[in-house]
Chain A
C-alpha cells in the first residue's frame, strides 16, 4: 500500500512538472541579449495586417483562427490572448518563433525570414 502511495505521489509530481514545462518554461531559456531585442516592425502600420496573413497561413491550424488556442484532444495549444503573451517582450517571442518549443509541439519557424517573424509578433501584440 505504501509503495502504491509512493508511485501515485511520483506520478502526481511528474504530471505537475510536465504541466509546468508547458506553462511558459521556454521564457526562462531566453538569453538576456535576445530578451531586449526591439521589434523593427512595431510601428509599421502594415505589420499587423501582414502578421495576420502569416498567422492565418502558418499558425491558425494549431492555435485557432482567432488565436483562441485548442484545449481538446491530446495536444493542447495555448490561447494567444493570454497575459503571458502580453507580458512577453518582442525579443522573447522572436526567440520562441526562431527556436520553437519542441518538447511542447511548437516547431521552429526559422524558415520564415526575420521580417515576417517580427510582423507576426506585431500582430500577436495587437491581439485584444
Chain B
C-alpha cells in the first residue's frame, strides 16, 4: 500500500505556496465545494482559491488534487473564473491536468425567493484530472484507478442552472448540471445540492477571530444522473458531507469537508479542504 508521504511532500507546492504569494487578503463568500449559490464576486474583486481534494481509492494509489482558481467580478451580474488543475498520486507522478474557464451570469437583477444563475464552462483537461469539481454521467471511482495517463483529452462544455435562496440566515442551493464532451460523447447530467447557515446571524460589536458569526456550517450532496442514452441513477456515484467554513476577519477563508460515498461506485471517503483570499478592487489597485 503506497504511503501518503509523497503527497505530503507536494502539499507546500499545491496548497501552501499560493498562500504566501498573495498580498492583503480578504474573505470569500461561497459556503460549498461543489454546489454553487447565487452569490457572485463583487465587481472589481479578485478571489484566489486553492481547492483541494484527497483520497485513497480502493485498489488505487492515494492522491491529492488541487484546482487553483482565479475568480473575478466583471459586473454585478457577471463573474468569470479560470481554474488550473493539478494532481499528485502516490507512487506515480505530479501532473498538470488542464484548465477550465467558467462564467456565471445573473439574469434577474433583484433578489427573489429563488434566484437563478446561468453557468457556462469550457474545460480542457485530461483523463488524469482528479479535482472532482463536479460529478456527471457515469463518473465512478474506477476513473481514478488508471495511472497518470494524460493522453486522453477531455474538451468539454458544461452548463449549470443554479437555483439559490437566502432566508433566515440559511442558504439553500440546487444545481442541475449538463456536460457535453466535444469529441462526440453524449450529454451527461449531474446534480449538486447544498444548505448552510452562519452559526450566529448578528455581528458582535468587537473584533474577534473565533466568534460564531465567522463560522458557517452546512452540508452538500452531489452525484451523476447518467447520460442522454441512460438517464437515471444506474451506474452513477453520489457523495454527501458536512461543510464547515471559517472566515477570518480581514483574512482568508478556510473550508473543510469530509465527503462520504453513498454507493459502491463512489469513493468511500474523500476529504476536501480549501483556502481562499479575496483582493478588493484588484484592477484599481494595479493601476495605482
Contacts and interface: CB of A to CB of B under 8 A. Distances in A.
B29 A61 contact: no
Contact of A111 (B77, B106, B166, B287): B166
A39 interface: no
A11 interface: no
A119 B202 contact: yes
A105 B111 contact: no
A116 B29 contact: no
Contact of A107 (B76, B203, B250, B284): B76
B274 interface: no
B111 A111 contact: no
A99 B205 contact: no
A111 B213 CA distance: 13
A3 B10 CA distance: 67
B280 A46 contact: no
Nearest to A98: B111
Contacts of B77: 102
A49 interface: yes
Contact of B203 (A61, A100, A111, A119): A119
Given A53-B205, A54-B203, A61-B280, A111 B39 contact: yes
Interface string A38-53: 0001000011011101
Nearest to A105: B43
Contacts of A16: none
Interface in A42-74: 46-47, 49-51, 53-54, 56-57, 61-62, 73
Contact of B171 (A54, A99, A106, A111): A111
Contacts of A114: 168-169, 201
Interface string B3-32: 000000000000000000000001101000
A106 B44 CA distance: 11
Interface residues of A, number: 30
Contacts of A106: 76
A113 B170 CA distance: 8
Interface in A88-128: 98-100, 102-103, 105-108, 110-111, 113-116, 119
B109 A110 contact: no
A50 B76 contact: no
Nearest to B45: A61
Given A50-B203, A102-B76, A111-B166, A73 B29 contact: no
Interface of A: 41, 46-47, 49-51, 53-54, 56-57, 61-62, 73, 75, 98-100, 102-103, 105-108, 110-111, 113-116, 119
Interface of B: 26-27, 29, 37, 39-40, 42-45, 73, 75-77, 106, 109-111, 166, 168-169, 171, 198, 201-207, 213, 249-250, 280-281, 284, 287
29 contacts: A47-B205, A49-B205, A49-B206, A50-B205, A51-B203, A53-B205, A54-B203, A57-B250, A61-B280, A98-B111, A99-B109, A99-B110, A100-B109, A102-B76, A102-B110, A105-B43, A105-B76, A107-B40, A107-B43, A107-B76, A108-B76, A108-B110, A111-B29, A111-B171, A113-B169, A113-B198, A115-B203, A116-B213, A119-B202
